[in-house]
A and B are shown apart, each in its own frame.
Chain A
Amino acid sequence: MSDNNRLSYEQRKAMYEQNIRDTDGRRQADKLRDVPSAEINGSKNKRPSGKHKAQRIELKPPKPAQPEIKPASDSTAAADITAGTVLSAIKRKFPKLDAPLMDYTPNSKRGRFDMPLFTVVLILIVMGIVMMSSASYAYALKEEGNSFAYAERQLVAAVIGFVFMIILSRIDYHAWAIPIKYLRRKRREKAKNGNGLNPAMLFFVLSCGLMVAVMLFGDSVNDAKRWITIFGVQFQPSELLKVACILLMAYMLQKNYERRSSLWYGFLKYWFVIVPATVLCYAQRHVSAMLIVMAIIFLMMYVGGCNTKGLLAIVAFVILACFVLLYVVKWDYLTDRITSWTQPFSDMGDTTYQTSQSLITIGSGGWFGLGLGNSRQKYYYLPESQNDFVFSIICEELGFFGGMTVILLFVLFEIRGFIIAGKAKDKFGSLVALGITVQIGLQAILNIAVACNAIPNTGISLPFFSYGRSALLTQLAEVGILLSISKQADT
């Protein structure tokens, strides 16, 4: 889409001279003249590039017809209410909205995926495996007799994940939001709109089912059941749930964008996602996962432009809840955490053991660290050194510079992720990219923050670094989706 006034003289001259005709046989110059002014205003953000992209955008199917929103019926009709009338009243109140029918091309090869992001991810994976193998060296030797037992398994997961990532990057991400019935190419023509059961919904239901299954059949680790073994592969369904939430939320936000300021469509409807996800996480005592899911959903809703009052209400509620829990109820769990946070060396034998050991580990490193593989704290002083506290080992071995390198790699990842989100082809892609980027970025920064005691201790693993095959696979799959979005993005 282009603006007549904004075309440079040279462009217009070129178009004119080349007398470009579009597929419908009309000349470009004619079309430009015939564009209604409203549409020009609505898409004024789109600036034409010098590479004739403007013409390609014209290829999108015609706009679906806007459904007519009927005004609410008279209040007198409510006198004789039957079940049918209630239903129809609700239907009138919440008229069905057609999901936008997005452009879906299986195995789309429209563009190259985002190379900088891919490079950053590759560096993160390689560095992650190297550091994790160093951090797990002692535990692996002690528990399995093979110093590289963890590293080998992580490497296998990384290879599989990498393949997974490439496959997913080659699948058009719209496939997650297109109703299943339209997924097949020959049925696409019949599609009137995007309504119907789509993979994102299915994925969400499946994840929730697995979450329930974990609570029933899961493998007990410590006092919580968070792991389930299916076909000999142990994994954490909460990882899947995060992705599922992102996909479903993105779909819903895109679908309801037009009515985003209404209370129901712009706010309350999403609680159908929020409530099951948070409740299931909380039921597993997986508070960190719950907080991350909540944060992602909130940020997606914020970016998706949801009901401002609702969002403000959430913020107000969270602040109030924290205040009440801390100062009125004085919830022991929370106050203890805060105390441990402010005084990390107060109870080294017990509650602040992890944090104090992490601080000792990071502090041993100094500017440049003890050298790769020379960590001493990994010899059972620092618990979970291959997992939640792998960052501390990085700092011990590679010092502040090593730690900052990791942080900067994640910042690069974030920047690329947000650029993809900002330049994604459509709202769905944008929101999915945002969700994935936020999830990985948030987990990374929160893990690092815990390691250097910037926030109270929560069990969050460091993406690409911490040991955990299901997590790594999921993260690489997410990167695959992100890459797929980047292919169609105007980056």
Chain B
Amino acid sequence: MNVKTTRSMRIRIMAVLIALCVALTGYVSIRLFDAAVVKNKEMSALANEQQQSSFTIKAKRGTIYDRNNKVLAQSTTVWDIIISPGDIEEYEPQNREFICKGLAEILGVKYETLLEACEDTSSRYYIAKKKVDRDTVEKVDNFILKNDLKNVSVYAVENSERSYPNGTLAASVLGFINENEEGYGLEAYYNSYLKGVDGRVVSTTDADGDVMPYDYASRFEAKDGNSLVLTIDETLQYYLEKNLEITVSQHKLANRSTGIIMNAKTGAIVAMATSPGFDPNDPSYVYFEKDRLTLAQMSADKATEDEILKAKQDIWGKQWQNKAVSELYIPGSVFKMFTCASALEEEVVSLDSTFECSGIADVAGTKIRCWNVGGHGVSTLTEAMIRSCNPAFIKIGQLLGVEKFSKYFEAFGFTEKTGIDLPGEADSLYVSEANMGIVELSSSAFGQTTKVTPIQMITAAAAVVNGGKLVTPYVVDKIIDSDGNVVKSAQTVVKRQAISEETSETMRHILEDVVTANGGGNAYMSGYRIGGKSGTSEKIDDYNSGKTPELRYVATFCAIVPIDDPEYVMLVVCDEPTSGYIYGSAIAAPVVSAVFKEGLEYMGIYPQYTADELAQQDVTVPWVGGYNSIRAEAQLTAAGLKAEFIGSTDGTEVTGQVPSAGTVMPSGSTVMLYMGDIPLSDYRMSIVPNVIGMTVEQANKALSDAGLNISISGAATGSEAKAISQSINAGLTAYRGTVVEVNFLVNNETG
């Protein structure tokens, strides 16, 4: 018997070897290559996903400052209280009710709500309460510590909250942003700068969640957001908003008002307001009283919830919209300054040209009325501007022709967005050159056809007076990083030269004349050289489409100060006044005047009085009590006042004076001085006359006849102004010499 291995055995051994080493190993090697090399990226990603735990370090959102570095918007740290129902179930199910009860008490949340949430044990992240302060967090911490609870069951997570310390101030410019980074205003427009970059701590953890003993942890620091320094001035913004608000309620504006103050040379927006606005701290509240009433009416009418929500959303959409850039309006007569400037630039008219107005113009069969039904007769160019004569501007428009009118329309930037750094800028509506016929040209010439945004309007107005340069308006002066380094700085961008410097100069004179005409319109302020133009447009499209029950108006006023070397342009647009007044000079001009009165000196523009104006200056009554007659008279004369003595002047002293010291009244007024022992009951009395409806001269005469002094308020002292109110009602008695404040207003389209 042979014990040796045989050849066939060896062949079979080879077969097994080949099967095992070549076939099986080859197959496995290919699978290994596939698993290790081909799927490398995919598997590494899966590995990282399960091994790496990372938590986010929230970047601090940048602050928004006004131009004097006053905070307008900033982020503060708050905390969210988190409950993990899954962990409660895992570690301490017996404490569930106790935890819910304790938290309900601390957080002021309903116990039942918490308990219900805690019963969903599949969840590990339930936000019990959002945005609580440090104290609450400490209370929760103490609650956990004291009762020996697990800190995985309940814990606080850092979050941040945006706060706007000035509430409604500049809300339409600042805007706000929600968690999905959708929003309005600068917060949305500059979100990429403001939000910063969140940091992360990435660490590698084992399957139990503990950090591995390797140096895998890497920390990516958060990069805090950049801050914005605006061109907005908090103080001027406040003045603007305050006065707009007064107008909104006084003239019962149905569609809000907006105001802009812009640097005429640089395009920097100094103030921009929409009134009524909203408080970005609580943007969903309805701030416009009219809208609140609408909603209340709807719920009283048993409207469905969906309907109310839809109405609410419409209201919110409007409320959060920046009227100055996102809404269109018909510019009306303010537009005449562009027609005028274009015509002067093209030399189709000169200052000597004359225009005739019969109160109605016939353009290719279409009759266009002048606001002054009686007609203005013959006017020069300046007079046509002062009188805001429509037929005159129809004529000027026709003289210009479609092509040139369209050329300047485009040159003044009415066909494009201004490019202001705010979101939602609207596109203007206008008749293109190709479609413009004589009727469209005529109505466009006095601003009754095109629809533009207030920001387009003020930018173009700046170009008219600043030497013809159309600039790009801007709100953000510079962007600074968290260390204070300037990241980006705004530059004045001159888009084009719309008109020549000479034409601009002429326009400045015309616009100054508009304000000072007839002794001063509603925007006139003594000591200041102000130019401007009012506008009253018919919202004919809304009326025709049935949006408004009756024809409504937009009252606007555009002012430039100082007009000889323009620094600031201001535009006020009051949409749909329903108080009975409609004219821009009556509604919008007083806003301009009031803001200028409060703000011009703050803006660094000081009054320069002419001799005439100085004579008409208001003076403060000095204290003359205890003086003898000679000294008292000398004192009053020095102050520009007259004295009238009652009682013996011989050796006696002044014991009483009307009006009292500190009262402001026009120079040349009379102060009653009571000499010696005269009881109060013996003081001379006067009956206040009715001066309403009188001109300044008439009112002055009536009051001085009654032995009273007049103090003129409201801007106008010109011949067109009429008294609309007096501080002491007619028929009342007052001490002789008392100052009665009379408010005058020019209630027509002049000025």
Chains A and B belong together in one complex: yes
Interface assignment of B730: CB less than 8 Å from any CB of chain A: no
The verdict on B27 contacting chain A, using a C-beta distance below 8 Å, is yes
Given contacts A302-B12, A377-B47, contact A452 B3 (CB under 8 A): no
The distance in angstroms between the C-alpha atoms of A454 and B24, with both chains bound, is 10
Q: Let me know if A258 and B4 touch, CB within 8 A.
A: no
Shortest CB-to-CB span from B203 to chain A, Å, is: 12
CA–CA, A380 and B39, complex, Å: 22
Number of B interface residues in the complex (CB < 8 A): 46
Q: Judge if A127 is at the interface, Cβ distance under 8 Å.
A: no
- The interface stretch among A15-23, A68-76, A328-336, A423-431 is A423-431
Query: In the assembly, what is the distance between CA of A438 and CA of B29, in Å?
Result: 18
What residues of chain A lie closer than 8 Å to B43, measured between beta carbons? 359-360, 362-364
Q: Which single member of B1, B25, B34, B37 contacts A445 (CB below 8 Å)?
A: B25
Q: What is the chain B residue whose CB lies nearest that of A366?
A: B40
Those of B203-224 within 8 Å (CB) of chain A: 204-208, 212, 214, 216
**Nearest opposing residue in chain A for B31, CB measure:** A454
Of B14-22, B303-311, B416-424, B573-581, the one with at least 4 CB within 8 A of chain A: B14-22
User: How many angstroms from the CA of A304 to the CA of B4 in the assembled complex?
Assistant: 12
Is B608 part of the binding interface, using a Cβ–Cβ cutoff of 8 Å?
no
Q: How many angstroms from the CA of A303 to the CA of B11 in the assembled complex?
A: 8
Kindly state whether residue A418 has any CB partner on chain B within 8 Å.
yes
The A404-431 residues at the B interface (CB cut-off 8 A) are 404, 407, 410-411, 414-415, 418, 421-428, 430
**Interface status of B490 (Cβ within 8 A of chain A):** no
Answer yes or no: B434 CB below 8 A from chain A CBs: no
Q: Check if B2 is an interface residue, CB within 8 A of chain A.
A: yes
- Contact (A363, B25) CB under 8 Å given A43-B4, A377-B47, A426-B4: no
Q: B13 is contacted by which of A46, A303, A376, A403 (Cβ under 8 Å)?
A: A303
What is the predominant secondary structure among interface residues of chain A facing chain B?
Answer: helix
Q: Contact check, B16 vs A366: say whether CB atoms are below 8 A apart.
A: no
Please give, as numbers and ranges, the residues of chain A lying within 8 Å of B44 by CB-CB distance. 363-364, 366
B547 at the A interface (CB under 8 A): no
Given contacts A434-B16, A441-B21, A363 and B8 within 8 Å (CB-CB): no
Asked if B16 contacts A303 (CB within 8 A), the reply is yes
Which single member of B35, B42, B206 contacts A453 (CB below 8 Å)?
B35
Q: Digit string of B210-244 for contact with A (CB within 8 Å is 1, else 0)? A: 00101010000000000000000000000000000
Are A454 and B47 touching (Cβ within 8 A)? no
In the complex, which of the residues A415, A441, A452 has the most CB atoms of chain B within 10 Å of its own CB atom? Answer: A452
Contact among A138, A379, A427, A454 for B28, CB-based, below 8 A: A454
Question: Considering the chains assembled together, what is the distance between the CA atoms of A305 and B21 in angstroms?
Answer: 21
A254–B3 CB distance below 8 A: yes
Q: Name the residue among A64, A362, A427 with the largest chain B CB count within 10 angstroms.
A: A362
- In angstroms, Cα B5 to Cα A476, docked, is 25
Q: Is A49 an interface residue (CB 8 A)?
A: no
User: Closest CB-CB distance, B58 to chain A, in whole Å?
Assistant: 28
In the complex, the answer to whether A381 meets B37 with C-beta atoms within 8 Å is: no
In Å, the complex CA distance between A404 and B34 comes to: 13
Contact (Cβ within 8 A) B5 A427 = yes
Interface string of A87-103 (1 = CB under 8 A from B): 00000000000101010
Question: Is the CB–CB distance between B20 and A442 below 8 Å?
Answer: yes
Rounded to whole angstroms, the CA-CA distance of A175 and B14 in the bound complex is 27
With an 8 A cutoff between CB atoms, is A66 at the interface? yes
- The contact of A454 among B27, B46, B204, by CB within 8 Å, is B27
State A64–B2 Cα separation when bound (angstroms).
9
- B32 at interface (Cβ–Cβ under 8 A)? yes
- Distance (whole angstroms) from the CB of A400 to the closest CB of chain B: 4
CA distance A400 to B2 in the complex (A): 47
- List A contacts of B34 (CB < 8 A): 452
Task: Say whether B609 faces chain A, with CB atoms less than 8 Å apart.
Answer: no
Q: Which residue of B lies closest to A383 (CB)?
A: B207
Residue A374 at the B interface, CB < 8 A? yes
Smallest CB gap from A193: residue in B: B1
Bound-complex Cα distance A303 to B20 (A):
14
Q: How far is the CB of A298 from chain B (nearest CB, A)?
A: 10
**Is B36 a contact of A360 with CB atoms below 8 Å?**
no
Q: In the complex, which residues 319-359 of chain A have their Cβ closer than 8 Å to any Cβ of chain B?
A: 359
CB neighbours (8 Å) of A299 from chain B are 16
Given the known inter-chain contacts A138-B206, A426-B3, please indicate yes or no for A448 contacting B32, CB distance below 8 A. yes
Cβ of A157 under 8 Å from chain B:
no
A428 CA / B1 CA spacing, docked (Å) = 13
Instruction: Kindly list chain A residues whose C-beta atoms are within 8 Å of the C-beta of B208.
Output: 380
Beta-carbon contact of B20 and A438 below 8 Å: yes
Is A415 within 8 A of B21, CB to CB? Answer: yes
Q: Which of A381, A400, A445 lies in contact with B51, CB distance below 8 A? A: A381
B7 contacts chain A at the CB level, 8 A cutoff: yes
Q: Smallest CB–CB gap between A260 and chain B, Å?
A: 10
Q: Which residues of A contact B8 (CB under 8 A)?
A: 305
Set of chain B residues within 8 Å of A430, measured between Cβ atoms? 5, 9, 13
Known: A404-B29, A448-B32. A304 touches B20 (CB 8 A): no
Task: Assess whether A400 is in contact with B46, with CB atoms less than 8 Å apart.
Answer: no
Given contacts A138-B206, A366-B44, A379-B206, contact A395 B7 (CB under 8 A): no
- B367 interfacial by beta-carbon distance below 8 Å: no
- Taking a contact as CB atoms under 8 Å apart, the answer to whether B4 and A395 are in contact is no
| Residues of chain B contacted by A399 (CB below 8 angstroms) | 36
Does B33 interact with chain A (Cβ within 8 Å)? yes
> CB of A63 within 8 A of chain B?
yes
In the assembly, what is the distance between CA of A45 and CA of B204, in Å?
64
Q: Taking A430-B5, A445-B20 as contacts, is the C-beta distance between A362 and B25 under 8 angstroms? A: no
Let me know if B10 is at the binding interface, CB within 8 A: yes
Q: Is the CB of B4 within 8 A of A363?
A: no
CB-CB contacts of B357-395 with A at 8 A, as 1s and 0s? Answer: 000000000000000000000000000000000000000
Whether A380 and B42, one on each chain, are in contact in the complex, defined by CB atoms closer than 8 angstroms, is: no
Q: What is the chain B residue whose CB lies nearest that of A414?
A: B21
A43 and B6 CA atoms in complex are apart in Å by 9
Contact A359 B35, beta carbon cutoff 8 Å: yes
Q: Which residues of A contact B33 (CB under 8 A)?
A: 400
B733 interface residue (CB < 8 Å to A): no
Docked-complex contact A403 and B36, CB < 8 angstroms: yes
Flag whether B353 is at the interface (Cβ < 8 A): no
Q: Give bound CA distance, A411 to B21, whole Å.
A: 6
CA distance A376 to B47 in the complex (A): 9
Q: Which one, B2, B14, B42, B212, contacts A363 given CB within 8 A? A: B42
Instruction: Flag if B46 contacts A428 (CB, 8 Å).
Output: no
CB nearest neighbor in A for B51: A376
A254 to B33, CA, bound (A): 41
How far is B23's CA from A442's CA once the two chains are assembled, in angstroms? 12
Q: Is the CB of B28 within 8 A of A448?
A: yes
**A130 interfacial contact with B, CB 8 Å:** no
A438 and B17 CA atoms in complex are apart in Å by 8
Tell me which residues across on chain A come within 8 A of B206, comparing CB atoms: 138, 379-381
User: Hey, what's the 0/1 contact readout for A211-225 against B, CB within 8 Å counting as 1?
Assistant: 000000000000000
Picked from B13, B21, B35, B207, the residue with its CB within 8 Å of the CB of A422 is B13
The answer to the question of B729 belonging to the interface, with a C-beta cut-off of 8 Å to chain A, is no
* Per-residue interface assignment for chain A, residues 445 to 461, with 1 indicating a CB less than 8 Å from any chain B CB and 0 otherwise: 10011001110000000
B6, B28, B46, B205 — which one has the most chain A CB atoms within 10 A of its CB? B28
- Beta-carbon nearest neighbor of A255 in chain B: B1
- Interface residue A25 (Cβ < 8 Å from any Cβ of B): no
> Using a CB-CB cutoff of 8 Å, which residues 263-307 of chain A contact chain B?
299, 302-305
**Residues of A bordering B, CB below 8 Å:** 42-43, 45-46, 63-64, 66, 98, 100, 102, 138, 254, 257-258, 299, 302-305, 359-367, 374, 376-377, 379-381, 395, 399-400, 403-404, 407, 410-411, 414-415, 418, 421-428, 430, 434, 438, 441-442, 445, 448-449, 452-454
Known A362-B32, A427-B3; further 12 A-B contacts with Cβ < 8 A: A45-B6, A102-B3, A258-B1, A303-B16, A376-B204, A411-B25, A415-B17, A422-B5, A438-B16, A445-B24, A453-B35, A454-B28
A–B pairs, 6, beta carbons within 8 Å: A299-B16, A302-B12, A379-B212, A380-B207, A404-B29, A430-B13
A-B complex: 9 closest residue pairs judged by Cβ atoms:
A363-B43, A379-B206, A380-B207, A454-B31, A426-B3, A400-B36, A366-B40, A452-B35, A418-B17
